[in-house]
Chains A and B, each alone.
Chain A
Amino acid sequence: MSNTKTFAKVNEAPTLFNVVIGIFAILIVILFLILPLGLIMKEAFGKGLKVWFGSIAEADTLAAIRLTLLTTAIVVPLNTVFGIIMAWALAKFSFKGRTFLISLIDMPFAVSPIVAGLIFILLLGPRNGWFGPWLESHGIHLVFSTAGIVIATLFVTFPFVARELIPLMREQGSEEEQAALSLGAKPWQMFWKVTLPNIKWGLLYGVILCTARSIGEFGAVSVVSGHIRGETNTLPLHVEILYNEYSFTAAFAAASILSLVAVVTIVLKSLLERRINKGG
C-alpha cells in the first residue's frame, strides 16, 4: 500500500465514458462496501438502542470485550517497541542479510490466519506440541488460554509497525541523527529528540493498523482459543458463537462495536495519510 496518495485536480469536462464509469464505481462501492456495513448497523440497532445496550451488557459479551482489550493492551505495545527496534536495525544500517530479514518480517502476512493458529498448536499444544508437554508439566497452559490468544495475535500483527517504519526511516536517512551526535547528543537523546519526532506519524499509522487487527483477529485466535465462554472468547469469537446460536441481535450488537472500531480506524488512517504526505 502506498502512503503517497494525492488527488490530482481533475479539470476535464466529464465525458460520457467517465460518467458511466463514475456511476458504476459508486454502485460497486455501495453494493460491496456500504451495504454490508449498513446491514450490520441495521441488524444491531434495528430493535432500538435499549435492546442494543441489553445485548452489550450481557456478562459474556462484557468478558469478551475485556479479553479483547487485554490482548490488545499486551500485543500492541510489544509489537510497537519491537517494531521500532527492528526498523532501527533494518533501516538505518546496511548489512548482508538485511533484505532476507525484511522478507521474514512480512511472513505473517503471507500465511493464512488458520495456519498461523495451527503452528502455535504444533508448537505449544498440550499433548503433541514441541514444548507443550514440558510447559504443561510446569503448570503453564499456553494454548486454549488467554496466553495462546496473545501469542497468536502477536504473530499476525507482528509486521504492521516495522513494515510502516522501515521504508520511512530508510527514506529519511541518518544525517539528522549524525548531526545530533555531532552536537553532543547521547544516543537516547538523539532517539527521543530527533528520530522519534521524525517518525511519529508513520509510527502512529502502524500502531493503528496493528491495533485494529489485534482487536479484530479471528482465524488464528479461533484456532488457539478454547472457545470457553466468558473466559477465552475474544469479541470476534463471541460474535461467531452468538451467530451460530441464532442470537442474531446480540451477535450484531457485538459486531456493531467492532464495525465502529473499523470505521474509526479507516478515518484515522485516511487523516494520517494526508499528514504523512505533507511531510513527516
Chain B
Amino acid sequence: MSIEIKNINKTFKDFRALHNVSLDIPTGKLVAILGPSGCGKTTLLRIVAGLETPDPVAGADIVFDGVSASGSPVNRRRVGFVFQHYALFRQMTVFENIAFGLRVKPRSERPSREEIRQTVHDLLELVQLSRLGDRYPDQLSGGQRQRVALARALAIRPKVLLLDEPFGALDAQVRASLRRWLRNLHDSIHVTSIFVTHDQEEALEVADEVVVMNKGRIEQSGEANDVFRHPKSEFVMNFLGEVNIFHGRFEDDKAVFGQVRPPSGEAKMLVRPHDFDIRRVAASGGIPAEVIRVLTAGSIVKIELLDQQKQVLYVHQSHAEYGRNPVRVLDQVYLLPKSSRIFRNGEDWVGDYVI
C-alpha cells in the first residue's frame, strides 16, 4: 500500500514542528526518516498514524493507496504503530498483547477464538518468541519487548507499519542484530513501512529509501546509496557521516581555502575521512598537516592530523592502504582530497577551487 503525505504542517503553540512536508512512499518499501532530535520526524510519523492532527492547511492530506485517511481516526486507520518505548499493555501477557487488536474487532469481523490463537502463535514464531507467550512485559528483555510490540502491530494486518525509533532504547549489540532481523522480516512480509531514527548508520543499513529531515523540513529523500553519495546540502552530508570541514571564501567565482582563515567563511568544503590520500611530498591541492595520533586497533586505521590552522583533521584508511604507506606521529604529510563537496551557504556549489 502506498502512502502520500501532502503539504503537512504542524504547529505546537509557537513552535513550528513541520513546514509543508510532502512525500510519496511507494508500496512495499522500507523507508527511514532520519534527522536530529527535534526535527519533526516523530511528529510526522504520528500524523501519518493519526495520533496527531496536522494543521488545517489547504491541501493537507494523508493518502493511503489513493484514499484519503484524513477523516478517519487512529482506531480506523489500520496502521501498525510501534512505539519507541513499546507501550506494551503491562497488565496483559505477551499472548494477550498480540491478540488485543483481534479481540477488539467488532463481533462480525472478529476471528474465532481458535483463529486468534493460531494467528498469535504464527506471529510469536515470526518474531522468534514462541515460548514466551505467557510472560508479562516486565519479564522480558528490551529486545524481546521490541519484537512483541512489532508482532502486536502486525496482528491487525496493518496497511502500513510505522516504527518510532525502533532500536532507540536498546543496547548496541541487540540493536545490530535486530536491524538485520527487521530487514529480513520486511523482505518476507513486504508491508509498506516507515521508521524514524536519528542514527544514520541504522537508516542506511536497513532502509530502501532515506528521508533526511531538518528543522521541520525534508532536506533530501531518495535511495539510501544515492543520498549518501550525492548529498544535496551541507546538512545532509554532515549528518550522514563523519566529515572534515574547511572554511574558505569565494573569489572571482572560485572557492579559496586554506589560506588565512576568515572569521566566518561563506565557502565550506566537506571531505569524508576516507576520501583523503596521504602524500609524503608536496602536491598541488595538498593540505600540509602533522600527524598527531594513529589508531590501528579496529577494522580501520584512524589517523588524526593537525593542519596549519591548528584544526584537527580525521583520515580513515583500510589496513591494506595504511600498510603501503604507514605514517607515524609527528610525520609532516600532505592530504589530497580524492573527493569533496563545496557548499555555499549550506547549498551545493559546483566550480573550481584552490587550496
Contacts and interface: CB of A to CB of B under 8 A. Distances in A.
* A touches B in complex, CB < 8 A: yes
Interface residues of A, dominant DSSP: helix
Interface residues of B, number: 29
Contact of B81 (A179, A189, A194, A279): A179
Interface in A196-210: 197-198
Given A176-B89, A176-B90, A182 B104 contact: no
Nearest to B109: A184
B160 to A, nearest CB: 11
A280 to B, nearest CB: 6
A176 to B, nearest CB: 5
Interface in A180-201: 180-186, 189, 193-194, 197-198
Contacts of A184: 75-76, 78, 101, 104-105, 156
Contact of A180 (B80, B90, B100): B100
A175 interface: yes
A178 interface: yes
B87 interface: yes
B153 to A, nearest CB: 7
B100 A182 contact: no
B126 interface: no
B83 A185 contact: no
A249 B3 CA distance: 80
Nearest to A189: B104
B21 interface: no
A94 to B, nearest CB: 11
Interface residues of B, dominant DSSP: loop
A279 B90 CA distance: 9
Contacts of A178: 51, 74, 81, 83, 87
B184 to A, nearest CB: 24
A182 B138 contact: no
A194 B89 CA distance: 7
B75 A186 contact: yes
A191 to B, nearest CB: 12
Contact of A183 (B50, B73, B91, B156): B156
Contacts of B152: 179, 183
B87 A183 contact: no
A180 B152 CA distance: 10
Contacts of A194: 89, 91
B89 A180 contact: yes
Contacts of B78: 184
A175 B104 contact: no
Interface residues of A, number: 18
A129 B235 CA distance: 72
A182 B89 contact: no
B49 interface: yes
Given A175-B85, A178-B83, A185 B90 contact: no
B32 interface: no
B90 A179 contact: no
B62 to A, nearest CB: 14
B138 A279 contact: yes
A18 B105 CA distance: 61
A193 B90 contact: no
A165 B74 CA distance: 26
Contacts of A186: 75, 104
A9 B282 CA distance: 71
Interface string A153-184: 00000000000000000000001101111111
Nearest to B155: A183
A8 to B, nearest CB: 22
Contacts of B100: 180, 183, 185, 193
B79 A182 contact: yes
Interface string B241-264: 000000000000000000000000
Contacts of B91: 194, 197-198, 280
Interface of A: 175-176, 178-186, 189, 193-194, 197-198, 279-280
8 contacts: A179-B89, A182-B49, A182-B50, A183-B100, A184-B104, A193-B100, A194-B91, A280-B90
Interface of B: 49-51, 73-81, 83, 85, 87-92, 100-101, 104-105, 138, 152-153, 155-156
Given A182-B81, A183-B100, 9 more contacts: A176-B89, A178-B83, A179-B83, A179-B89, A181-B74, A183-B104, A184-B104, A184-B105, A185-B75
List 5 A-B pairs, minimum CB-CB distance, nearest first: A183-B101, A197-B91, A175-B87, A179-B87, A182-B81
